[in-house]
Amino acid sequence: MHGKLTALDYLLAQIEKPDNVPALLLLTLAAFYIWHSWRRSRINDSRSTPMEAEMADKVQVWPYLVRVEFLTSIVVLIILTVWAITINAPLEEPANPALTPNPSKAPWYFLGLQELLVYFDPWIAGVMLPTLIIMGLIAIPYIDINPKGNGYYTIKERPFAQATFAFGFLVLWVVLIVMGTFFRGPGWNIFTPWEAWDPHRVVPLNNVDLPALVGVPTLNVDNTYNPLSIMIGAALILVFYSIGYFVWKKKQGTPFFKALGPIRYGVTAFLTLSMTGVVIKILLRLLLNVKYVLATPFFNI
Amino acid sequence: MIGWFNKRFGTSIEQRNYGALYAGFSLLLFLTTLWAVYNEVDGRRPWKEYQADFRELKVQVLLNKRRELKGKLSKDELKRTDSLLEIYDEQLHGKKLAGYQSQIDDLAMTIRKTSQKRANLKSEADNRNYMFEHSSREQEPEAATKYKGQRTDLEHRMADLDKTLDSLDKIRAKLLADHITPIASKKKALESHRDSLYGAVADLEKKIDEADAMPLQIQQVMLNDFDRTNFGKLQMRADRCQSCHMGITDPVFADTSIFNDIGKGRHLFRTKDEAAHARKVFGPHPHPEMLKSHNIERFGCTPCHGGQPMSVDAVDHAHGLESHWERPLLTGAYVQGACRKCHEGDYTFAMADKVSEGRKLFIDFGCFGCHEGPSIPDWKEYKVGPSLMNIGKKISPEWAYKWIQNPQSWNEHTRMPNFKLNDDQTKAVVAYLFDATKSSQYAPVSASAPAGDAARGAVTLKEVGCFACHAVDEFEPRGKFKFLPTTDKKLLWPNGVQDGNRIAEGNNFGPDLNKIGSKVDAAWLFDWVKNPKHFNPSSRMPILRLTDGEAADITAYLMGKKDPSFLASPPSLGSLKDTNLIKKGASIIREYGCFGCHQIPGMENEGKVSVSLADFGTKTAADLYFGYLGEEQLHNTRDHFDKGPYKLGKVYMHLEDGEDWFVWTALKMKNSRVFQTDAIAQKMPVFNMTDEEAYAMTVALRSYTKSYIPASFRDPLGQYQPAVNDGHFLTHWNNCVGCHKIQGSGGFVLENLRTLMGIKGDDINPYGPPNLNTAGAKIQEPWFYNFLRNPASTPVRTWLKIRMPTYAFTPSEISRLDKFFLGLEGQSLQFTDYSYYPATEQTLAAGQQLWEKLKCQQCHAAGSTPSLGGATAVPAPNLALAGGRLKPEWIIRWISDPQVVAPGTKMPNFFGTLQEPSAADPTILGGDWKAQISALRDYVWRIGGVKGMGSSSTQADSSSMHPAAAPAVQAAGSAKPADSAAKKTAMRTVPGKKLAMR
C-alpha cells in the first residue's frame, strides 16, 4: 500500500540528494568557522592584546606545521574515500537535445550565480557581476589600508571589512546558493524543501518596472520606450551611486579618509554600492515584484 | 573530549605528541582502503553471489541427474568393473611393483636433471655462437677463433649428454614396458569400458566438471548496430542481464521441474520461496519459442524487456528501477508493447495478446478519428461509425436524441461513446443532422415491407449466419462483460466496473439486433437486409444475396424484437427547424469531432480535432495534467488495477503523489472526463471502458514511442510486411476473421455454429467457413479475384448453409487482400498461367490408382460424379474445381500433411506427417511416397478437364512437399537470395509456360 508522503519525506529526499551534499557541507563549515572566528574575536576585542599575540614563540615549519598538514591530508583522504563509497555520483538520464530537464540546475557552487539570473539580465548576472566579484577580490589588498587584524581575530578593529565579508559572502553568496539549491524547483519556482515539486505549479507573473509602480509605464501605446520612465530609472540609479559622493563630501576631512585618498575610496564605494545594489534589486523583486529599475531599448537593470 | 582538547592546547606545540593520532588515523585510512577494495570487488558486484549460487545449483542438478542415470545402470557389471579396476590399482601400487616403480622414478629424476644440464649447455653454446658471429662481423679473428673453439667444446659435451639421456630413456622404457605398461593398459581399457558403460554418465561428469570450474565473470551480449543516442549517433549496447539470469538459455534449466524439487534432505530447495526465487532468477525464458525467432545473441534482452543494460551493481539498478532511468524493466503485459517497436504495423501478436487487443481497440473505438497515431488507417476513408448521410430516412429525431445523450442506455455494449451533452446541445446536434439530410434522395425499394413469416425468418437468420457479425437471441456478444466489485465506482467507472472487451470481431462487429424493431421501420429494414449498400454505400455490412421472400421473413422476425422502454417517455423536441439551433448543432459537431467516426453531410473537409498520440508512450507525469485528483484517488486507482489481473506498470521517475503515466492513462480510458477542471474543459467522450479494455489500451499506448530501430531488426517479412500489415487491417475491418481463421486466429462463428448444429469440437469444421491458413499459396489469383467479386459465381462448399456474402470489394481492395495472403507465404502478386501443368501417362495412371485406393471419392465429388458418402464421410469440395482454383504446389503441400496446413481439418493424413512421411500404398510407384503424392496431385488436377500432358519433374515437386526443407520453392515469386534454385525448378516444372511478371 502507498503511504502518504509527508513534509519530512520531502525534506529528507532533498537532504539525501547527492547533488546537495556539498551545499550542506558548505553550510555546516561556514557556520562552524563563523562561530569560531566570532568567539575568538570577542575574546580578543575584550582584551588589550589579542590571544594570538601571547603565543609569541614561533616554531619551525618542519616538523611542527608539516606534521599537522600531513595528518590533515590523511583525514581528508579518509573523508573523500568514505564519501566516494557511500554516495553515488548524481547521474541523470542520458542527454537529450529534445528534452530539457526541469529544473535545470547548475553544479551547487554555481547555483548562486544561476539564482542571480532571476533578478538580472544575463549580461549582468552572468558576465558583469562575476567579473566585478573577481576584480573586487583582486582589489582588496590595494584598497585595504587598515593594518590591524593581521594574524589575529577581531571585529572591533575592522568593522567595515567584517561587515563587507558578512554581507558579501554570507548574504550574497551562501544565501543565494542555499536559495538555488534548496528553494528552487521545476520552472525555477520557489518551493520549500519540505514540499513536493509540482511541475504544474502556476505562479503569478506580474512583475512591473519600478517607474511603472509609481504610475509611469515603460512603454508607450505604440510600444516605443517612454523617455520619462527611462529618466526616472536612470535618475534612481544615479542617486543610488551618488551616495558614495555624499559620504566622501562629508567625511573627506577625517584622517582615515585622508589616508584612503579619492581613488581608493572611489573603488571601494563603487564595489560596496554595487554589492548592496544587487541585494536591493533582489529585495525589490521579491517584495515588490519589480522587474527592472531602468528599462531601455538597449539594456535593462 | 573537550577536556582532551583543552589539555592538548594547554601544552606547547613542541611537546604535543602526534604518535597516537597518526596511528589512529592511519589505521582508519587502512580500514577505509580495505572497505574501498571490498566495495569494489564484492559490494558492487552482487552478480558474483548469483553466479556462485547458480554454479552450485547447476552442479547439484547435474549430480542429481547423474545419480538418476546411475540408478538405471546394470549394477553387477559396474561392480565387476569397479572391483577389477581396484585390483589393477592395487597391483600398480602394490609391493610387487614397488621396486620397479622406485627405479623408474629414480631414472625419471636423473633424466630430468640431465636434461636440465643439457639445456644449460645449449644456452651457453648459443651464446658462444653469437659471440663468434659478432666477432667475425667486427673483424676480430682472434676472438672469433676463441669463441668458435668454446662453442665446439660445448657441442661435444652436449652430444655426450645426449647419449647418456638416450640410454637412460631406453632403460626406463624397458622397465615400463616389462613391468608396468601391461597392467596400466589393461586398466585404461577397462576404464574406457567403464566409461562406455556409463556413456551419458561420463558426459554428465564432464559437464559437472565444466560447471564446477565455471569462472565468475560478467556475461554480456553486444548489440553493435541497435542503439542510437538521443543525438542520433550509433551507440553500442551491452546487455549484461545474463550475468545473473544465467539459466535463460542453459539447457540444464530448460526443464522447470527442477524448481519443484522442494523438501528437506536430498532436495534442491528447502522452501517454496527459495524455489520460487531460484526460478525467477535462474529459470529458463518463460517462452522458449520466442527465443527461437528472437535469437538472444542478436537481440539481447533489454530491447524488449527494458532495464539498464550495463548496470550490474545492484538488482534495482540493473532493472532500471531508479529515478532518471527512462527505460525501466517492463512488467506484466507492458513488455508486449516492445513488440510494436519492431513490428509496427502488426495487429495480431500470437504471444502478445494485450498489445494486439489494445491496437485493435484503438481502431474499433475510432480513436484514430480524432488522434494521429502509429500505423493507423486513413480516417477519411475508414470511419468506424455508420454514415449519417441519409440518417433522417432511417430513425426518428426522438430516437437519435435519446441515443446521442446516452448510447449505453440503448445498448450497453455499444462502442459509441457518451459525449455528455446537455439537453440543448443534444437537441442542436439532432437538429443539424436532420436538417442536413432532409434533401437525401434515399427511399426504400418498397414503401412498405412485403409480409413475411417471422418463424421462417428466425430460421433463415441463423442459417445464413447473421450471428457471425451480430449479437441476436441466444448468441450473446463475444467478449461479454463481467461485473467486478470496485472500490471507487464514481471515479473509475460511471456505470460500475466491468471485465471483457468490445473488439469488433465475431458478433461484436455489428450492432446488437435484439431491440432493432424499436429503432427502425420495416420498409427500411427490408431494403437494408436486401442490400445495405443502397442506404449506405460505404457500409461494412455485406450483401447476403437474400431472396425477397427470405428478406421479408427476416424483416418480419426482426421487427418483432422490440423494446419500447427506450422511447417510453419520448423527449419533446419541439421545432428542429430553427436556424440558430442548426448552427449551434454544427458548431458542437465541429467541436467534438463527430465526423472522426461518422460521415456527416457538410463536414467533409474538417480535420482531426485532437492531439497526436504518436509518442504518447514517452510522456511523463510532468507532461500530463491530473486536474483535481489527489493522492488518495490516484492511489485508489492504482490499487484497483493492481488487485485484479491487470497490474499497471510502474514508473520510477516522478513517483511522488501517485502521479504517473499509467494511472493517468488508465483513468483517462475508464473515465475520460475525470481530469476536467473549471479552467480546463475536456471533450473526449466517455467510452465506458472495462478494466480489460482500459488495460489493453494502456499497454498499446505505452508502446506509442518514436524509436530508432534499425531496419535490420524490423519487419521479419521484409518487402511483404506492408502488404501483410494492410491485410491484417482489412481482414479485421471487414470482420473476415469473424468467420475465417487467418494465421491461427479468428473463426469465431464456429463456436456459434457448434451451438446451433449441436456438433462438437473439430467435427464442425466441414460445416463452417474454411480456414484461410496458407490461402496465398493455395488459391489461384484469378479465381480469388472472381470469387471475391461474386462468391455465388463459383460455389465451392455447396453444402454450407452459412453464406459467404458479397462484399462489393473494389478490384484494388481485392488485390490488397490477395497481396496479404501471398505476403504471408512470402510471395508477391504476379500473373501466372495455371492452365497448363505437365504430367505423364504413367503418373496419371498411378494417381488414379491412388484415388481409388484411398477412396477420395467417399467425401469429394468429382465433377458430375457425386461423392459416395459413407458412415465416416464428411462433405468436401468438388475436386473438379481443383485445376482452376488451386495452385499445383499447394496441393502437394496439402496432401502431404493436411493437419499442418489447416489444423483440425477432417481430411486424413494418407502419407504420414511432414516429419515422418510414408507411402500410402507400398505397391504403387515402388512405394515412393514423393512420387505417389505427386501422382495423386496430377490426377486430381485433371479431374475438371485435361490440363496438358508432358514430362513432369518429380524431383522439383517433391522438394515443394517440405516447405521447411526447401523454402526456395515456396518463395518462387519472391526475390529472396535462394531464388535462383527456385527459378530453375519452376522453369523445369512448366517449361516455357510460366508467365512471370517481375
Residue of A78, A80, A194 to mutate, interface with B, max B Cβ within 10 Å: A78
Helices and strands, counts by H and E, chain B: 41, 6
Burial of A159 (0-12, 13-18, 19+ CB in 10 A): exposed
- Compute the 3-state secondary structure of chain B and give helix, strand, coil in percent, each to the nearest 5: 55, 5, 40
The 10 Å Cβ neighbour count of residue A259 is: 10
Q: Which residues of A touch B658 (CB under 8 A)?
A: 2
Judge contact between B657 and B631, C-beta under 8 A: yes
CB A296 within 8 A of CB A229: no
* Range with the poorest average pLDDT among A12-21, B268-277, B318-327, B433-442: B318-327
Rounded Cα gap, residues A30 and B731, in angstroms = 74
Q: Which residue in the set B26, B32, B657 is minimally distant from A82, CB to CB?
A: B32
pLDDT tens digits along B617-647: 888 888 888 888 888 888 888 888 888 888 8
Distance CA A230, CA B160 (A): 113
Question: Do B431 and B400 form a contact (C-beta atoms < 8 A)?
Answer: no
Closest CA to B821 of B751, B910, B726: B726
Per-residue pLDDT, B484: 52
- Ranking B175-179, B753-757, B962-966 by mean pLDDT, the lowest is B962-966
For every residue of A70-131, DSSP letters joined together read: HHHHHHHHHHHHHHHHHS-----SPP-TT---SS----GGGHHHHHHHHHS-HIIIIIIHHH
What are the cell numbers at B410?
440503448
Q: Are B416 and B385 in contact (CB under 8 A)?
A: yes
- The closest CB to that of B326, out of A1, A75, A93, belongs to A93
CB-CB under 8 Å, B326 with A94: yes
Placement of cell 611393483 in the chain: B97
Quick count: other Cβ atoms within 10 Å of Cβ A239? Answer: 10
**Upstream peptide bond of A103 is cis (omega within 30 degrees of 0):** yes
Lowest-confidence region among A148-162, B1-15, B927-941: B1-15
Is the pLDDT confidence value at A140 over 90?
A: yes
Find cell 427506450 and name the residue.
B566
Burial label, B240 (beta-carbon count in 10 A; 0-12, 13-18, 19+): buried
Specify the higher pLDDT residue, B830 or A33. A33
A85 and B CB contact within 8 Å: yes
Identify all chain A residues contacting B625, using CB atoms and an 8 Å cutoff: 200
Cα–Cα distance, A95 to B203 (Å, whole number): 51
Write down the pLDDT at residue B54. 95
Task: List pLDDT tens digits, range A193-205.
Answer: 998 888 888 888 8
Smallest Cβ–Cβ distance between A78 and the set B21, B28, B622 belongs to B28
For residue B284, whether the previous peptide bond is cis, meaning omega lies within 30 degrees of 0, is no
Query: Among candidates A111, A280, A130, which has minimal Cα distance to A188?
Result: A111
- The answer on pLDDT for B174 being more than 80 is yes
With bands split at pLDDT 50, 70 and 90, how would you rate the model's confidence at A179? very high
Residue B870: CA count within 13 A, CB half-sphere: 12
Phi, psi of B715 (to 5 degrees): 50, 75
A95–B21 CB contact, under 8 Å: no
Beta bridge partners of B228: B234
> Could you give the 3-state DSSP secondary structure of residue B508?
helix
**Structure-model confidence comparison of residues A120 and B795, the more confident one:** A120
Q: Tell me the C-alpha to C-alpha distance, in Å, between residue B583 and each of B436, B588, B589.
A: 11, 9, 10
**Pick from B96-105, B390-399, B534-543, B950-959: least confident:** B950-959
Q: Is residue A7 over pLDDT 60?
A: yes
Average pLDDT, stretch A18-46? 92
Least CB–CB distance from B32: residue in A59, A81, A197? A81
Q: Are strands B234-239 and B482-483 parallel, antiparallel or unpaired?
A: unpaired
Q: Verify whether the Cβ–Cβ distance B230 to A200 is below 8 Å.
A: no
Q: Give the span between the Cα atoms of B936 and B921, in whole angstroms.
A: 12
Q: What length is written for chain B?
A: 998
Any idea what DSSP says for residue B478?
Answer: T
pLDDT band at B953 (very low <50, low <70, confident <90, very high): very low
Q: Identify the residue with better confidence: B473 or B536.
A: B536
Q: Does A75 touch chain B (CB under 8 A)?
A: yes
Inspect the interface and report whether the beta carbons of A98 and B35 lie closer than 8 Å.
no
Residues of A in contact with B642 (CB under 8 A): none
User: Residue B656 above 70 pLDDT?
Assistant: no
Residue located via cell numbers 504518436: B614
Kindly list the distances between the CA atom of residue B425 and the CA atoms of A48, A282, B573, B581, in Å, as whole numbers in the listed order. Answer: 91, 53, 12, 9
Among A275-284, B177-186, B197-206, B933-942, the range with the most confident prediction by mean pLDDT is: A275-284
**pLDDT tens, B690-701?**
888 999 999 999
Tell me the residue type at B765: N
Mean pLDDT of the region B935-964: 58
Q: Which of the four pLDDT bands, split at 50, 70 and 90, describes residue B978?
A: very low
Using a 10 angstrom Cβ sphere, with 0-12 exposed, 13-18 middle and 19 or more buried, the burial of residue A157 is: middle
Local confidence band at B489 (pLDDT 50, 70, 90 cut-offs): low
Q: Are B932 and B850 in contact (CB under 8 A)?
A: yes
The predicted pLDDT at position B459 comes to 92
pLDDT at B400 over 80: yes
Chain B positions touching A67 (Cβ under 8 A) are 18
- When the pLDDT of each residue in chain B is averaged and rounded to a whole number, the result is 86
pLDDT score for B995: 37
Q: What is the pLDDT of residue A56?
A: 62
B632 chain-A contacts, CB cut-off 8 A:
4
C-alpha span between A296 and A291 (Å, rounded) = 13
Confidence (pLDDT) at B964:
37
Which residues does residue B829 pair with via DSSP β-bridges, in sequence order?
none
Distance from chain centroid for Cα B920: 37
Write out pLDDT tens, residues B3-39. Answer: 888 888 888 888 888 999 999 999 999 999 999 999 9
Average pLDDT over residues B431-438: 93
Label residue B84 by pLDDT band (50, 70, 90): confident
Statement: residue B962 has pLDDT above 90: no
Q: Rounded CA gap, B346 and A9, in Å?
A: 45
Residue B987's pLDDT is 36
User: Which pLDDT value is given to residue B998?
Assistant: 33
Contact across the interface for A85 and B635, Cβ inside 8 Å: no
First-to-last C-alpha distance (Å) of chain A: 53
Residue A85's beta-bridge partner residues? none
DSSP state of B386: P
Burial class of residue A24, CB neighbours in 10 A (0-12, 13-18, 19+): middle
Distance in Å, alpha carbon of A209 to nearest chain B alpha carbon: 30
Among A residues 168-207, those touching chain B with beta carbons less than 8 Å apart? 186, 196-197, 199-200
> A4 CA to chain B: closest CA distance, Å?
8
Q: How far apart are CA A244 and CA A260, in angstroms?
A: 14
Beta bridge mates, A290: A208
pLDDT above 90: residue B387 = yes
User: Model confidence at B947, in pLDDT bands (50, 70, 90)?
Assistant: low
Instruction: Give per-residue pLDDT as tens, B412-427.
Output: 788 999 999 999 999 9
User: Of A57, A84, A200, which is closest to B625 when you measure between CB atoms?
Assistant: A200
Which range (A92-101, B211-220, B614-623, B970-979) has the least confidence?
B970-979
CB contact under 8 A, A95 and B28: no
pLDDT in the model for residue B986: 38
| Cα gap B771→B743, rounded to integer Å | 9
So what's the pLDDT on residue A3? Answer: 57
CA distance B649 to B334: 7
The average pLDDT across A174-180 equals 94
Write out the H or E segment, with its range, that includes residue B498. strand B498-499
Closest residue in A to B13 (Cα–Cα): A64
Specify whether the CB–CB gap between B623 and A186 falls below 8 A.
no
Would you place residue B347 in the very low, low, confident or very high pLDDT band (cuts 50, 70, 90)?
confident
Residues B827 and B596: their CA atoms lie apart, in Å, by: 36
| Option in B18, B26, B324 nearest A92 (CB) | B324
- pLDDT at res. B200: 77
Tell me the whole-structure pTM to 2 decimals: 0.79
What span, in angstroms and rounded, lies between the C-alpha atoms of B850 and B871? 21
Min mean pLDDT across A74-88, B98-112, B483-497 is at B483-497
pLDDT, mean of residues B754-767: 88
* H-run or E-run covering B153: helix B141-175
Nearest by Cα to B502 from B363, B380, B653: B363
The H-or-E segment that residue B97 falls in is helix B95-137
Nearest-neighbour CA in chain A from B654: distance (Å): 9
φ, ψ for residue B775, nearest 5 deg: -55, -35
The CA-to-CA distance between both ends of chain B, in Å, stands at 95
pLDDT, tens digit, for every residue of B776-803?
999 999 999 999 999 988 888 988 989 9
SS (HEC) of B431-463? HHHHHHCCCCCCCCCCCCCCCCCHHHHHHHHHH
Mean pLDDT of B327-334: 88
d(CA A297, CA A224): 9
